[in-house]
């Protein structure tokens, strides 16, 4: 049911993810979703429940965009490669908390600076993740560090 909802990507893989609390309030139309800092895009709605590893899900989208990049323009070729590498670190919990701001800034450097829209499509899922799920990212890093510390004892 709705109580198990974690997040929705309302417009396909290239639009920013929104959490349940935003879904509770927003009308799922073009204008309302733009106001909520996402979009209806292709309207290929992706729904994630609370069992979804949202960091891993967004990382998988970035991996897809890295694979799809033609490599013609530097912001996409290099930027999406770095997004992919950094997201892999977040998946394993190997990243540092300050890398959350770094990956967000990297995504902003890609957005609007590519020949086609693929760069934007790769940047926006990361932006939505950081905007709405930063606490989950931080907790994942803390938990990884605690586990690594305990394993080292």
What confidence tier does 153 reach under pLDDT thresholds 50, 70, 90? Answer: low
Can you tell me the distance from the alpha carbon of 62 to that of 121, in angstroms, rounded to the nearest whole number?
A: 9
For the chain, the residue count is 153
Q: Residue 69: which CATH number? A: 1.20.1440.230
Indicate whether 39 and 9 sit together in one domain. yes
Can you tell me the distance from the alpha carbon of 8 to that of 2, in angstroms, rounded to the nearest whole number?
A: 11
Indicate whether 29 and 72 sit together in one domain. no
Cα angle for residues 124, 126, 132 (degrees, 5° grid):
100
Tell me: the pLDDT tens digits for 55-74?
Answer: 999 999 999 999 999 999 99
Indicate whether 84 and 152 sit together in one domain. yes
Q: Is the pLDDT reported for residue 127 higher than 70? A: yes
Which residue segment(s) compose the domain that 84 sits in? 53-153
The reported pTM is: 0.93
Domain count, the chain: 2
């Amino acid at each position: 049911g709705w109580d198990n909802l974690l997040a929705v990507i309302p417009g396909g893989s290239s639009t920013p993810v929104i959490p349940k609390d935003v879904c509770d309030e927003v009308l799922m139309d073009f204008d309302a979703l733009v106001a909520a800092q996402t979009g209806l895009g292709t309207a290929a709605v992706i729904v994630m429940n609370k069992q979804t590893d949202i960091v891993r899900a967004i990382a998988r989208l970035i991996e897809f965009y890295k694979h799809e990049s033609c490599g013609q323009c530097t912001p996409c070729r290099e930027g999406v490669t770095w997004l992919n590498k950094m997201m892999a670190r977040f998946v394993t919990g190997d990243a540092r908390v300050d890398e959350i701001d770094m990956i967000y800034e990297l995504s902003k450097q890609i957005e609007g600076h590519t020949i086609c829209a693929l760069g934007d499509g790769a940047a926006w899922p990361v932006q939505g993740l950081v905007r709405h799920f930063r606490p989950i990212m931080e907790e994942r890093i803390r938990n990884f560090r605690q586990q690594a510390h305990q394993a080292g004892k």
